[in-house]
């Protein structure tokens, strides 16, 4: 991973190698500007040579992949910095549901109020708060990275498949060609059309294969209307039998598959409002925005033999011939929020239990700050580094990599970085990650399920990590 470098007047310069950053710090020519993402500030320079840097995004429902790459002239891109931004949409949804329940009870018990639940009008382009949060946090990181690196262009995966070319593939006669870009677009189209499940047994969340309804060996075509998705078992079971023969005992299912095969997918199903909202916001940054399809991302990834993670998906978005330096540690960023407005805790029956203080900051610290506590003696002797949870009494808890250390006095704490609403962790290189298969191991024909990449418990420790 490269280190961000800014000039003495905070102009973004080209990121440098960690060894170079250490040298600059040792010589006293630079100071640490920020811990996460690690940034140094040069004391003696304002300017430097800049090369084109592209920020690439793969927006996901739970995790967004971010990749900064340096663009060379021959279509080669060098990965400079990779990150995975974990959203908190579900936490927001839960909190709003709780708030709604409190408000209902408060407003309904005491007196009669006229019904007002239906008197609000939503503005054009309104997104639910949990979805808007995804756009907002992503834009926060786009702005933040533009302050740390001289970004000259943006790339975003906008749609799952090429809506222009695939507008009406059933009628336009687009054919499935395994391994080609068109083949990948067709796969994404089929995933959307067949709702990411096996058409014959309905199983979900397992690798699916493209299956010819009329087998190729019996003259079936590669036309999209002759294709469906099946799990490996069903595909093997069906072999080169005719579908009418294969599903002879399931007439309902046979009818459903045949009917669905003939109906083209309306492209509305492929349009994701959050992705489009993000695209609109990216256009406002006055940087050129390249958009690409999920089919192309997958094609690039398989062609270049790169494993699937959120950040590597981001790095594979759009036009590229070669990607270098992608096997590096990744910065995990988790949206942690900035605390709660609720000023009381509740018992399990919903009765209030005590009240919280109005001020968020105690003894100069705030919950979420990154601190270093040095305790000279006693049971908790040692150095503790992590996110702090403050109490008005000045006795703090610190969430370290090895668990929570309770009751550390504020006098022992020194600030490393102020809370910014995110938790950080460094995830190891791909080779050392157990949750990621290698690109070579992926079957060329099987379509992996769309799942969120699950980290091992060690990678899920969010407070602070090296
Ligand atoms: Zn099946």
pLDDT at 350 over 80: no
Render 404-428 in DSSP notation, one character per residue. Answer: EEEEEEGGGEEEEE---SEEEEEEP
Calculate how far, in angstroms, residue 364's C-alpha sits from the geometric centre of ligand 1: 59
How many C-beta atoms lie closer than 10 Å to residue 43's C-beta?
A: 12
Residues of the chain with CATH 2.30.30: 359-420
Calculate how far, in angstroms, residue 146's C-alpha sits from the geometric centre of ligand 1: 47
pLDDT at 109 over 50: yes
The CATH-assigned architecture of domain 169-267 is Orthogonal Bundle (1.10)
Calculate how far, in angstroms, residue 58's C-alpha sits from the geometric centre of ligand 1: 29
Give yes or no for a contact between 85 and 104, defined as CB atoms under 8 angstroms apart.
Answer: no
Calculate how far, in angstroms, residue 271's C-alpha sits from the geometric centre of ligand 1: 27
User: Could you read off the pLDDT of 194-253 as tens digits, one per residue?
Assistant: 888 999 998 988 899 999 998 988 888 888 888 999 999 999 998 888 888 899 899 999
User: Residues with Cβ < 8 Å from 93, sequence gap 6 or more?
Assistant: 128, 129, 130
Calculate how far, in angstroms, residue 399's C-alpha sits from the geometric centre of ligand 1: 45
465 Ramachandran zone, left/alpha/beta (phi>0; psi -120 to 50): beta
Calculate how far, in angstroms, residue 227's C-alpha sits from the geometric centre of ligand 1: 14
Pick the CATH number of 359-420 from 2.60.40, 3.20.20, 1.10.10, 2.30.30: 2.30.30
Q: Kind of pairing, strands 344-346 and 352-355?
A: antiparallel
* Measured distance CA(447)–CA(184) in Å, rounded: 10
Calculate how far, in angstroms, residue 229's C-alpha sits from the geometric centre of ligand 1: 9
Calculate how far, in angstroms, residue 235's C-alpha sits from the geometric centre of ligand 1: 7
Calculate how far, in angstroms, residue 103's C-alpha sits from the geometric centre of ligand 1: 47
Residues in the chain: 466
Residues of the chain with CATH 1.10.30: 169-267
pTM: 0.78
pLDDT at 80 over 90: yes
Residue 22's nearest CA partner among 7, 9, 38, 37 is: 38
The pLDDT value recorded for residue 266 is 64
Residue 137's nearest CA partner among 13, 274, 34, 270 is: 274
Calculate how far, in angstroms, residue 238's C-alpha sits from the geometric centre of ligand 1: 10
């Amino acid at each position: 991973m490269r280190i961000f470098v800014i000039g003495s007047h905070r102009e973004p310069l080209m990121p440098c190698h960690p060894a170079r950053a250490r040298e600059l710090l040792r010589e006293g020519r630079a100071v640490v500007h920020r811990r996460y993402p690690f940034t140094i500030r040069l004391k003696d320079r304002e300017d430097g040579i800049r090369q084109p840097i592209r920020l690439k995004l793969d927006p996901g429902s739970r995790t967004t992949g971010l990749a900064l790459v340096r663009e060379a002239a021959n279509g080669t891109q060098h990965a400079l910095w990779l990150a995975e931004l974990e959203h908190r949409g579900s936490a927001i949804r839960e909190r709003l549901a709780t708030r709604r329940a409190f408000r209902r009870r408060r407003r309904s018990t005491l007196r009669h109020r006229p019904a007002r639940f239906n008197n609000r009008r939503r503005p054009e382009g309104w997104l639910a708060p949990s979805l808007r949060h995804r756009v907002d946090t992503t834009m926060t990181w786009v702005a933040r990275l533009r302050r740390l690196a001289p970004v000259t262009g943006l790339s975003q995966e906008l749609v799952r498949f090429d809506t222009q070319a695939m507008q009406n593939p059933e009628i336009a006669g687009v054919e499935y060609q395994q391994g080609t870009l068109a083949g990948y677009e067709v796969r994404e189209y089929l995933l959307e059309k067949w709702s990411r499940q096996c058409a014959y047994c309905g199983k979900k969340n397992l690798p699916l294969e493209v299956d010819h309804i009329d087998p190729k060996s019996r003259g079936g075509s590669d036309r999209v209307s002759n294709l469906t998705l099946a799990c490996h078992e069903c595909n093997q079971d069906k072999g080169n039998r005719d579908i009418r023969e294969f599903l002879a005992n399931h007439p309902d299912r046979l009818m459903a598959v045949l009917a669905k095969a003939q109906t083209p997918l309306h492209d509305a199903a492929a349009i994701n409002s959050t992705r489009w909202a993000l695209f609109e916001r990216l256009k406002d940054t006055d940087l050129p925005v390249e958009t690409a399809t999920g089919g192309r991302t997958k094609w690039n990834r398989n062609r270049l033999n790169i494993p699937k993670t959120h950040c590597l998906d981001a790095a594979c978005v759009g036009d590229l011939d070669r990607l270098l330096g992608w096997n590096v540690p990744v910065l995990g960023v988790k949206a942690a929020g900035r605390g709660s407005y609720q000023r009381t805790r509740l018992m399990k029956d919903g009765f209030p239990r005590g009240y919280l203080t109005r001020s968020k900051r105690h003894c100069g610290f705030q919950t979420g700050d990154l601190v270093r506590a040095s305790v000279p003696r006693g049971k908790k002797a040692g150095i503790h580094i992590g996110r702090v949870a403050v109490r008005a009494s000045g006795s703090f808890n610190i969430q370290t990599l090895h668990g929570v250390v309770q009751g550390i006095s504020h006098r022992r704490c020194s600030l490393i970085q102020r809370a910014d609403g995110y938790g950080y962790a460094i995830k190891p290189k791909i080779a050392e990650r157990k949750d990621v298969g290698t690109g070579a191991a992926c079957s060329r024909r099987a379509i992996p399920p769309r799942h969120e990449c699950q980290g091992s418990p060690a990678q899920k420790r969010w407070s602070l990590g090296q």
